[in-house]
Chain A
Amino acid sequence: MANVERYEAPESLPELTQILAEGPATMFAGGTDVVPQMRVGARPVRPTLININRLADLRGISESNGVVRIGGLTSVADILDCAFLKQVASVVVQAADCFASGQVRNAATLGGNICNASPAGDMIIPLLVLDAEVELASWRNACVARRRMPLCDFFTGPGKTCIEDAEVLAAVQFPVPKPHTVGRFRKFGTRPALDIAVVSVGLAGVKENGCFKDARVAFGAVAPTPIRGRNTEAALVHVELDGDRISDIAQVAEQEVSPISDVRASAWYRTHLIRELMERMLHEVHQTRD
């Protein structure tokens, strides 16, 4: 069994990425996923343990040139409390409100939730519908190199992403949603939070005159990764919503997911819920003034 031989608590991104470049390491910030996973042996132990919680520059929410940037170390509680996000991208805040518990929200980071890559990851769904990109940083040629990729391409399987061993998720960014954007996140459960999503649905798009000009839909816990609902999106745009149309669109959503059965729900129930949640969400959006 592997041993932990080295512990580092870097305070800057150059420092961190240099350590990452030196060999396999386990990173942690809030610890809310890593600690229990390590305890039960669900996460391989690497020789270096890096506490990235001290990198102040990876924390915070900002906007410039029409792009919203959320540092990878921003806590879910900070997102929940962020007045700016509430105003421009409330769908992210809605998801933060359903996330675990107060104690976990205080410690858990956005980057951690994304990199944990759970098919049910609560924070991933709203970011998918905001067309977010992840920014991955590493040490190259004696300086910090950054690459960006669309969040929807980031996940490769349950717990698996495109991130390389020497990379850290520095930030997530997405364009400031255009005027008249509506965003909704719904997670199915019997509790307001403290629940692994049985399924979740996200929706964002510009709605004018009762009609979506553009739309993005995402589903959680219905595939090996969180997914975009491209067919649902196509069915949704440029359509004047009414009861029948909404029902049709929800049916498209139902048809484009293929969930599994597990201890939390059967595939049948998950599929049903996708339709039900989609339908309710569209009714609610339809009834809300643009």
Chain B
Amino acid sequence: MKCIKQEISFTLNGGAVCVDVPVTTDTLTMLRDRLKLTGTKYGCGEGECGACTILVDGVAVNACLMFAVDCHGRELTTIEGVQTEDGLSTMQRAFVSCGATQCGFCTPGLIMQGTSLLNRSPDISVEQIKRGIEGNLCRCTGYHKVIDAIATALDSNRSAPKEHS
């Protein structure tokens, strides 16, 4: 299939980006192949595994299911954009200290999804955290330590200011 390209501009991890993409390209392909941001992972290409989770206008979506052209005018945050000036974000630190990462392939997606849960509501139960990551598959951890990490980050963020919307 041949297809035309479209120039789009958007905010990516706080900086302005202007890029032309084939109009049928998905956002994951654009991020990885074109913009060389490889922290966002391909796991299934059909929204079943969550490895490609990014934030668009602060909301978590699967980059593999989003047309790249739809990024135009919007604000994207990928795993490369969640660190703060002080280093790792609260969520990232919690993933490290709670042992929530093993092979690590699902980790960027889980951190993005965890970050979106944290931004949305600081007071959620463990059951809500489990539902919150129902769209992220992990084959190594059995999710326990991931849930610990998100709960830990929520705890430590309750009194602290909000990060990265």
Contacts and interface: CB of A to CB of B under 8 A. Distances in A.
So, do A and B actually touch in the complex, CB under 8 Å?
Answer: yes
B59 interface: yes
Contacts of A5: 3-4
Interface centre among A5, A32, A101, by most chain B C-beta atoms within 10 angstroms, is: A101
Given A3-B3, A32-B47, A107 B65 contact: yes
A198 B94 CA distance: 37
A77 B132 CA distance: 12
Interface in A3-43: 3-7, 9, 28, 30-32, 34-36, 38-39
B4 A6 contact: yes
Given A35-B26, A36-B47, A191-B134, A51 B1 contact: no
A107 B27 CA distance: 13
B3 A4 contact: yes
A34 B69 CA distance: 14
A103 to B, nearest CB: 5
B4 A9 contact: no
B164 interface: no
B93 to A, nearest CB: 23
B66 interface: yes
Interface in B4-48: 4, 6, 23-24, 26, 45-48
B163 to A, nearest CB: 19
B135 A104 contact: yes
B61 interface: yes
A36 B29 CA distance: 13
A193 B134 contact: yes
Given A4-B1, A28-B67, A31-B70, A102 B46 contact: no
B47 A103 contact: yes
B23 A30 contact: no
B113 A103 contact: yes
A55 interface: no
Contacts of A31: 26, 65-67, 70
A223 interface: no
A1 interface: yes
Given A4-B23, A9-B72, A104 B65 contact: yes
B50 interface: yes
A148 to B, nearest CB: 29
A101 B47 contact: yes
B139 interface: no
A142 interface: no
Contacts of A4: 1-4, 23-24
A192 B130 CA distance: 10
Contacts of B6: 7
Interface centre among A31, A53, A103, by most chain B C-beta atoms within 10 angstroms, is: A103
Interface in B42-66: 45-48, 50, 53, 59-62, 64-66
Nearest to B67: A31
A39 B46 CA distance: 10
A143 interface: no
Nearest to B2: A3
A285 interface: no
Contact of B48 (A7, A45, A194): A194
A103 B135 contact: yes
A2 interface: yes
Contacts of A235: none
Contacts of A234: none
A49 interface: yes
A32 B62 contact: yes
Given A3-B1, A35-B65, 15 more contacts: A4-B23, A9-B69, A30-B66, A31-B65, A32-B65, A34-B67, A36-B46, A38-B24, A45-B24, A101-B135, A102-B132, A102-B135, A103-B62, A192-B134, A193-B131
16 contacts: A3-B3, A4-B4, A6-B4, A9-B69, A28-B67, A34-B67, A36-B46, A36-B65, A45-B1, A77-B59, A101-B50, A103-B60, A103-B113, A104-B61, A107-B62, A194-B134
Interface of A: 1-7, 9, 28, 30-32, 34-36, 38-39, 45, 49, 51, 53, 77, 100-104, 106-107, 191-194
* Leading 3 A-B pairs by shortest Cβ distance: A101-B135, A4-B3, A7-B23
